[in-house]
Amino acid sequence: MLGLAAGDAAGGAWELGYSAVTEQATVVAYQLIEHRRLQASSMIQAIRELDGSDGEEPVYRAESRHFRAWLDGARGGSPAPESGQSLDAAPRAVPLGVVFRREPDSLRDEAMVLGRLFHADDASILAGAVAAGAVAASCFGQSGRDLISGVIELIEPVSTQFATGSALMAELNGLLAHVGVADGEKALALASGTGEPCPWDQIKAGLLLSAPVVDRAHVPIEQAARIGGSALAGMVGGIVGARVGIRAWPWAFANDTWFAEIGRRLSRGPQEVADLPIPYAVEHHLIAGERQGLY
């Protein structure tokens, strides 16, 4: 969670720190800490709370177009999965990889539940499973070809649920020949081939960037931020952070001790959030602290 927030901040979606990318993952993390499973109705309610569902001020910052459309639908009483490819599912699924790192079947199932709550696009749903699987592998120190092979092995059983699943799996298998690339633009070029890069290509490039073990752990995050902004850098930050553990990142962002504690509870418990800050209150305070005047 600390690496995810660091990547989000590095991506610059919100100029003063982390954005809706991390805020969504935090809501997911709280659900998992308390229940160890995702509950669709309570997840929707918790996600909407930060959008001011109780008549309060919205506290999401720099949300993506896809997420904003989903929130608007939810506000109208009918949240519906968004069509079109999006990077959003990848950083949102990072907490799943920690909680279910020893339970591949549960990880697959919960990644599908979470992905389908927000997305109708095959690649976007599978992007969440890719991210969660990579985080789970990184929790055990996997890297390089082992990490990517582990991700492929994890999500192959659910790929048959999708019309384009076979093609998407073939693309993931193609990444094995390029493990070791450290430059973001090169990784994206390898992932996209001769076509115009799409979000799924960015996901594949992020997986390539996060696979090698490097001396400076922040470099893959910086490269991901250059090619995919906060969402991709958040995903890569979550994967790298799971491997390297708690550390100080080269750039400052708010609430780092909070994210470290969230990650600890995802990993080791206790299954308790009553003594943790309320996410809405944290985010409202962060916004209010940057303003002048009366609101």
CATH architecture of 2-288: Orthogonal Bundle (1.10)
User: Which of 113, 104, 87, 91 shows the shortest CA–CA distance to 35?
Assistant: 113
DSSP structure class, residue 93: T
CA distances from 5 to 48, 80, 81, 255 (A): 20, 27, 25, 9
Taking CA atoms, 128 is separated from 22, 199, 231, 280, 285, in Å, by 14, 12, 12, 24, 29
Q: Which letter, b or e, does each residue of 90-112 get, where b requires 16 or more Cβ atoms within 10 Å of its Cβ?
A: bbbbbbbbbbbbeebeebbbbbb
Q: Which pTM was predicted?
A: 0.95
3-state SS of 34-81 is HHCCCCHHHHHHHHHHCCCCCCCCCCCCCCCHHHHHHHHHHHCCCCCC
Say how far apart CA 241 and CA 100 lie, in whole Å.
16
Chain-centroid distance of CA 213 in Å reads 20
In order along its 295 residues, the chain shows pLDDT tens digits of 999 999 999 999 999 899 999 999 999 999 999 999 999 999 999 999 999 987 889 999 999 999 999 999 998 877 899 999 999 999 999 999 999 999 999 999 999 999 999 999 999 999 999 999 999 999 999 999 999 999 999 999 999 999 999 999 999 999 999 999 999 999 999 999 888 999 999 999 999 999 999 999 999 999 999 999 999 999 999 999 999 999 999 999 999 999 999 999 999 999 999 999 999 999 999 988 754 443 3
Q: Are 44 and 53 in contact (CB under 8 A)?
A: no
Residue written as token pair 């592998």: 137
Q: Do 199 and 128 form a contact (C-beta atoms < 8 A)?
A: no
